[in-house]
Amino acid sequence: VSDLTKELLDKEEKLRLRELDLLKQQDQLKVTETDLANRYVELANKQKDFIGCVNRNNEENKARIGQLVEMVSNMKPEKAASVLSVQDSDIAVQILQMIDPKKASKIFNFMDKEISAKLQKQYLLMKK
C-alpha cells in the first residue's frame, strides 16, 4: 500500500509539474501572439507609408509631365522635336501621348527618322 501511495504521489507530482510546464508554454504563446500582432500592425503602417510615398511620387511625376506637356504644346513643332529628341524616350512618349495628335505628328516629322521611328514604336506599344 505504501508503494502504491508513493507511486500515486510521484505521478501526481509529475502531473503537477507537467501542468506548470503547459501553463508556461501557454503564457509564452500569448506573449508571442501579442508580439506578432504588434509586428503585423507595425508592418501594415509601414506599408501604408510606403504606398503613400509611391502614390505621392507618382502624382508629383504626373504634375511635372503635365508641365512639360504644356511647355511642349506651346513650342513650334521644330523646337519641340529638337527638345523631345534628346529627352528620355519614356518621358518623350508620355509627353507626346498627352498633346494634340496633329501637333504630335508635326513634331514626329521634324525629328530624326531613327528617333522618330523609335518613339512612334514606343508610343504604339504604350497605347495597347
pLDDT of 6 reads 92
At residue 73 the predicted structure's pLDDT band, cuts being 50, 70 and 90, is very high
Burial class (CB in 10 A: 0-12, 13-18, 19+), 95: buried
* Average pLDDT estimate for 9-35: 97
Reported as a single tens digit per residue, the pLDDT across 91-112 is: 999 999 999 999 999 999 999 9
Q: pTM of the full predicted structure?
A: 0.60
Q: How many CB atoms lie within 10 A of CB 65?
A: 15
